[in-house]
Every structure is written in C-alpha cells, then in structure tokens.
Amino acid sequence: GAVVSQHPSRVICKSGTSVKIECRSLDFQATTMFWYRQFPKQSLMLMATSNEGSKATYEQGVEKDKFLINHASLTLSTLTVTSAHPEDSSFYICSARDPTQGEAFFGQGTRLTVV
Amino acid sequence: GDSVTQMEGPVTLSEEAFLTINCTYTATGYPSLFWYVQYPGEGLQLLLKATKADDKGSNKGFEATYRKETTSFHLEKGSVQVSDSAVYFCALSRSGYSTLTFGKGTMLLVSP
C-alpha cells in the first residue's frame, strides 16, 4: 500500500520556540492531507484539512496562527507549532488521501514535548 | 455531532484466545465504518471497513459487521496471536475516507 512518511517521530523543544513537522506522501500525489492531534487516552481529533496550493481549513477551536499549515506541493504538507507551550505537548499525526485508491494513509505520528 | 465510542483498554489476552473489541457510533445518515490498527512505532493502517448496513469487513482473520439497528461495529478475531498486539481504532466517515471521526483507541496485549 501507499506510504506516508512523517518526520520527526519525536521532538522535544523549549517553551516559546517553533517546531515544524513534515508529512510526505512517498508514492502518490495527495491533493488533500489531514492533521490530527491525540491527547493521552483521547481520540484523534482532526485539526485541519490541508489542500495543495490553497489555505488550510481549520476545525473549530484550532488556532490557525498557532498551528501553521503549508501544503506547497502534492507530496508535502508541513505543520508548524509556533511559540510552543507545554500544553501543546501531544501526539500529532497526518494522513493523506490517495485519490486513485480513495483510501487515506497515515504517517507514523510525531510525539511533541514542550519543556 | 458524530462520535465513536469504543471499549477502554488495555485488553489482555493469551495467545489463541477469542477477541472482541466493542465499538458503537452516533451519526446521522449512513456513515462508512472503519477499523484501523497502529503497531508500536508505526502509523495507523486500515484493517477493514464496511460501507453499508449488514456489510461485513474482514482482513487478517479480523472481522466486523456493520449493525445499523444497534449502531455498532464490533471487532472480532477467533484466535489472536502475539503479533496482533497493537492499538485498535474504530472510526467513521460520512464522506468516504476524507474526514474520519475516531474512537479513543483500545490497546490489545497478547501474551504467549
């Protein structure tokens, strides 16, 4: 099946700094990618839908200025957590939909810890 | 809004035991239902799916039946293996695979 690569898998950063997470579709072109966040013992919550060449669509309650999403090419979307704070510590996971198969494939996830 | 409720884990079983992980959902209309599995250190993988009532999804010995009357999609396997140890997520979508609503996930631990 198709592969989605997410990097880094783990990152620790200092409060106030920014962190960029990359999501790549390795063998298909993804016009749409999705970013999820998972708190401990909670569901994966959709944060935003990333569309190639246009602005991301954010879910209610997600700060677009805090979580910057860029989908500059058909194989890459990035999520930047700006001015990170400890409450941003979480597991972030991306997915990309392969339009030829219809199925969504997921990255490995990124464990962000803000200290 | 849409929601998915699945049983809390961890579920701990011995090898060759029977597995059931319960999943119920709330949604209007007729959503598609999915089970995803996440092995340690890996991303979520689609395990099986069902797109309409009474459909049975099956893969790798796992199966689940879309029950509209009970709004359920319970995951079952007749004989689990150690390699089945993972976190299992039940999910629904009202627009194909695009936006998924997930349950909290259930960790399965299988011992030899």
Tens-place pLDDT, residues B23-81: 999 998 889 999 999 888 777 889 999 999 999 999 999 999 999 999 999 999 999 99
Type and span of the H or E element at A114: strand A110-114
Q: Which residues contact A85 (CB under 8 A, 6 or more apart)?
A: A15, A16, A114
Angle at CA of residue B33, ends B27 and B34, nearest 5° = 140
A90-97 and A104-106 beta bridge pairing? antiparallel
**Around Cβ A75, how many Cβ atoms within 10 Å?**
19
φ and ψ of A92, to 5 deg: -110, 135
Tens-place pLDDT, residues A41-63: 777 899 999 988 888 999 999 99
Residue B99 has pLDDT above 80, yes or no: no
Q: What is the mean pLDDT of residues B10-17?
A: 97
For residue B53, give Cα distances in angstroms to A48, B33, B101: 29, 10, 18
Residues B112, B106: Cα–Cα separation, whole Å: 20
Q: Which residue of A lies nearest to B2 if distances are taken between CA atoms?
A: A45
Counting one residue from chain A and one from chain B, the pairs whose CB atoms sit within 8 A come to 51
**Widest CA span of chain A, in angstroms?**
42
Residue A39's pLDDT is 80
Beta carbons of B97 and A9 less than 8 Å apart: no
Q: What is the mean pLDDT of residues B76-91?
A: 96
Stronger pLDDT, B107 or A31, i.e. the higher one: B107
Residue A14, chain B, CB below 8 Å: the answer is no
A19-25 and A32-38 beta bridge pairing? unpaired
Beta carbons of B105 and A43 less than 8 Å apart: yes
Which residues in chain A are contacts of B43 at CB distance < 8 A? 4, 6, 93, 105-109
